[in-house]
Structure 1
C-alpha cells in the first residue's frame, strides 16, 4: 500500500511505528497476568515454567529474526509478529479453564507465540521507521519520533492497566451493572477472559497497522538466507559491535542500568507491601509509573540531543542511583516516591539507546544489531535477576520474607556503582569520543 498523496513514506512509517508499539505493548492482561493464569487453573510451578519458556524463545529467536529482517525485509517480520500476536490471543481465549494437561498445552503454545512475536518485532519495526527517515535524509528527526512514542506508549499503558484490572474484577463490574439498572451477575470464570478479548481487538489493530507499513525502496526484500548466510550475517553484526567502542558503550551501559531497574520493577509489589502500602493502591501506582513517560519524553529528547553520550549516561545512572538508594532505605509509605525516578530512568534509557545505536549502525545490519541489543538486555536482566534471587535466599535464611526483600534491595545500588566503575575503567581511553556532543 502506497503512502497517501502529499505524505512521505517516512511520515507514514513513523506514525504507524508509534501506533504499532503502543498497541503491541499496551496489553490489558498485564496488571493481572499472574492471577489470570492461576485462575485459569495452572499451578504456580507451571506458571513459572511458562515464563521460562517465553524468555527462552525470545533469547533463541531474537538475533535470527534480526538477520531475517535484514535479508528479506523488515515488513515481513513485523507482519509475522502481528500474526503471532493475533494467534497467541486466540489460543489464550480458547484455553479450557481447569483443563489440566490440555490447559497447560494451550498456555504453552500461547507463551511460545508470544515470545516469537516479541523477538520478530524487536529491531524490525524500529528499522522500518528509521530507514524510511534515512532514505529522505531526515535521521535527525528520530528523537522526535521516540518522544512521541514514549508519550503515547505511556498513555496506552495507563489505559491498559486501569481498564484491564477493572474488567477482571467481577464485583466492580456487577456494581457498575447494578448502578446502571442492569439485572445480571458476572463471576470470575467469565470476567477473567475480558482482558484477553480486549487484547485480541488490539492484536487485530496491530495487524491492520502492519499491513499499511511500507518497505523503503532501497530495502526491498531478497531471498530467504541459507543457514550459512544467516550465521555469516550474525557474525558480521557481532564483529561490528565488538570493534565499535561507541556501540559497545551504548549497549553495555544501557543494559547495566536497565537490568537493575527491571529487577526492581519485577519485585515492585513486594517493595510496596514492605513499605506498608495497601494492595488496593498497587494498580494506581502502576498506572502512575506507566504514565510518567508523558513527562519524561521531552526531557529525554533534550538530554540526548543537547549533550554528549557520556553526559547522558551519567545523568541516567545518577537518576537510577538516587531511586535505588531511596528504595533501599525502605521508608514506610513515602518510599513510593523513589520509584518515580526509577521509572523515569528506565524510560529514558530505552530512548537513549535507540537514538545512539540507530545513528551509529548502517542500514544493512540495523535490525540484526538492534536484535543483538535486545538479546544483551535480556541476558543482562536474567543475570541480575539470578544475583537478586541468590541475595533473597541468603537474607531469608536469616529472617523473614520481608527481610529478604529489604536486604536484597540494598544490593541493587551497590551493584550499579560497581558496574559503573568497571565501565569507566574499560572505556576510559575512549572518553574523548564519548564526550563529543551529538
Structure 2
C-alpha cells in the first residue's frame, strides 16, 4: 500500500499537530478493537471470502476520503472506516486459509503457508517504499492516495477468487454466532489457554514500533534509519518463512526459542552501535518464527465452525498485549520489554502445545 510509508507525513504536511495525529491513531485503534470480534462473527455467519472483499472496499473508501478531503475530520472518518476494514480482515484470513487447506486434507501445512504469508507481508515493504517515493515524486500525495485505492480494490477482487469450502454456520443469527464463539473461548479450558498464549505472544510484536528509536539511540544517522529498520524486517521475514519448520520441532522448542529471543533483546540494552541492531534482528527473527507457530497452534485448537470469531477474540488480546509492550517501554525501555518477553515464556509453554489427538 503506497500510502503506508507516507500517511503520517501527509497528516503533518496538511497542518495537523503531533497531538492531533495521536488522536487519529486512537480513533483507528478504538474502532478496530470494538469491531474485531463482530467482524469475525460476520465472517463465520456469512462468507469469509465476502468479508475479505468487503474489507478491501472499505479500506479503499477510507483512502478516497483522505485523498479528496485531506483534513482532520476527513482523516478521522477515514481511520474509522479503515479500523472497521482491519477488523473484518483480522481472523478471517487465517480461518479461510486453514479451512481451505483442511478441505484438501492439508491442514498440517497451515504453519508453513502462514509463515510464507507473514514473510511476504514484511518483504513487500521493500517495493512498497520504492513505489511510494516514485509516485510521490510524480504526483504528490493525491497520486499516492489513488494508487492505494487501486491496490485495495485489486485486493477485494482477488479475495473473491479464493476458494471457500461450504460449511453450515450455526448460532441461528449473527448475534448467535458471536455469542457461541465467545462461549467457545470461555468454556473450553484448553482453547482459553491457547487464546491467552497467542494474545500475549502476538502482542509482543508491538516492539517493532520502537526499532527506529533503537537505531537512533545506537548512533545510526537519521537518513540511514530506514535502511537499518529494513534489515531487521528482513531478518523477521526469514524467521517467519522458517515457521513451518519450527512447527515440526518438539513442543519444548517453542518456549526455548522465545526465551532466547527475550535474552537477546535484553542484551541489546548493554550492546553498542551496529552490534545491538544485529542482535535485535536475530531476536526478531526468532520471535516471528514462534509467532507463526503460535498462530498455527490456535487454528489447530479450534474445533467449531466459529473459527474466525475465536481468532478475532485472540486478536483483541493481541491489541491488549501490545499495550503491555508500550507500558513496558515507557517504564524501562528495551530492557523492560525483554523482561516482558521472558514473562510470557511460561504461558507460551503451557498454551501452545500441540492438541492431543
TM-score (normalizing by structure 1):
0.74
Aligned residues: 357
Of 417, 423, 435, 2:342 maps to 417
Q: Is the 8 A contact 2:49 2:96 kept in 1?
A: yes
2:81 corresponds to 1:120: no
Q: CA deviation at 1:133?
A: 1.9
Inter-partner Cα distance in structure 1 for 2:318 and 2:83: 15
Aligned to 1:250: 194
**How far apart, CA to CA, are the structure 2 residues paired with 1:272 and 1:136?**
45
Q: Classify 1:226/1:291 alpha carbon distance in 2 versus 1 (closer, same or farther; 3 Å).
A: closer
1:335 partnered with 2:282? no
Q: Which residue of 2 aligns with 1:285?
A: 228
Where in structure 2 are the equivalents of 1:322-401 lying within 5 Å? 322=264, 324-389=265-330, 391=331
Q: Mean alpha-carbon deviation: is it higher for 229-238 or for 52-61?
A: 229-238
Pick one of 262, 266, 269 that aligns with 1:320.
Answer: 262
Q: Give the structure 2 partner of residue 181 of structure 1.
A: none
Which segments of 5 or more consecutive residues in structure 2 lack a partner in the other structure? none
Please give the per-residue CA displacement for 1:189-228, whole angstroms capped at 9, x wherever unaligned. Answer: x523443233222112101112212431225x6898254x
The unaligned stretches of length 5 or more in structure 1 are: 1-26, 97-102, 174-185, 392-406
DSSP-derived class of the 2:16 partner: coil
Equivalent-residue separation in structure 2 for 1:65 and 1:436 (angstroms): 27
User: Shift in Å at residue 40 of structure 1?
Assistant: 2.0
SS of 1:217's equivalent in the other structure is coil
Shift of 1:48: 0.5
For residues 284-338 of structure 1, give each alpha carbon's deviation from its aligned partner in whole angstroms, at most 9, with x where no partner exists. 1233233334432442211112322x3213212322331x113212512432212
Secondary structure at 1:31 match in 2: coil
Match of 1:403 in 2: none
1:328/1:410 contact within 8 Å kept: yes
1:89 aligns with 2:63: yes
Q: Provide the C-alpha distance between the structure 2 equivalents of 1:226 and 1:248, rounded to a whole number of angstroms.
A: 22
Determine if contact 1:77/1:120 at 8 Å carries over to the other structure: yes
Change (3 A) 1:162 1:224: farther
Say if 2:233 is the partner of 1:259.
no
Q: Deviations along 1:228-286, whole A, 9 cap, x unmatched?
A: x255224323224xx333x3443333433443441x32122222111110111122123
Distance 1:149 1:127 in 2: 14
Instruction: Please state how far the C-alpha of 1:417 moved relative to its aligned partner.
Output: 2.6
Larger Rg, first or second structure (1 or 2):
1
Q: In the aligned structure 2, how far is the partner of 1:334 from the partner of 1:226?
A: 52
Distance verdict in 2 for CA 1:157–1:52, change over 3 Å: same
Shift of 1:164: 2.4
Is the 2:111–2:244 Cα contact (8 Å) retained in structure 1? yes
Distance (Å, rounded) in 1 between the aligned partners of 2:269 and 2:205: 13
Question: 1:270 is matched with which residue: 200, 204, 213?
Answer: 213
Query: Which residue is 2:144 aligned to?
Result: 195
Answer yes or no: is the 8 Å Cα contact 1:69–1:124 preserved in 2.
yes
- Report the CA distance shift for 1:258/1:214 in structure 2 as closer, same or farther (over 3 A): closer
**Shift of residue 351, structure 1, vs aligned partner:** 1.1
